[in-house]
Amino acid sequence: MKRIVFLGDALDQVRSFPEGARKEAGGQLHKVQVQQGLEPSDWKPMGTVGSGVREIRIREDGGAFRVLYVAQFAETVVVLHAFEKKAQKTPGRDLDLADDRLRAFTTININTKEKKR
């Protein structure tokens, strides 16, 4: 089973979702974490953020919610960002934030691996 790492305020953002959306987000992330290779029920690739980044799409009466994550690391599912989507198009600030967090996480992992050598 892969571990899940939430970057920045992503965990707080998921916790701020309405109960139904929060449970759905947790269930979908669990599916990715435990059953490697299994996809969330409703997702799309987010290549504009980075290679392997995916968006879990959650719709309920309270609105539309998104969780951006990447699962291509061997032992980790990385949750980059979570937010309520209020417009048809995902705001650039949300995509930029996820991109920045992915770059920072990747840089830290590369530096950590080099120090272990």
Query: Tell me: the pLDDT tens digits for 61-81?
Result: 879 999 999 998 888 999 999
Query: Tell me: the pLDDT tens digits for 22-46?
Result: 999 999 999 998 876 678 999 999 9
Q: Domain 3-116, what fold? A: YaeB-like fold (3.30.2310)
**Amino acid letter, residue 85:** K
**Cα 13 from Cα 34, distance rounded (Å):** 22
CB neighbours of 116 closer than 8 A, spacing ≥ 6? none
**Amino acid letter, residue 1:** M
pLDDT at 113 over 80: no
User: Which residues lie across from 58 on neighbouring strands?
Assistant: 65
What does the pLDDT read at residue 115?
A: 46
pTM > 0.85 = yes
From residue 80, alpha-carbon distances to 62, 99, 101 in Å are: 22, 8, 6
What does the pLDDT read at residue 109?
A: 73
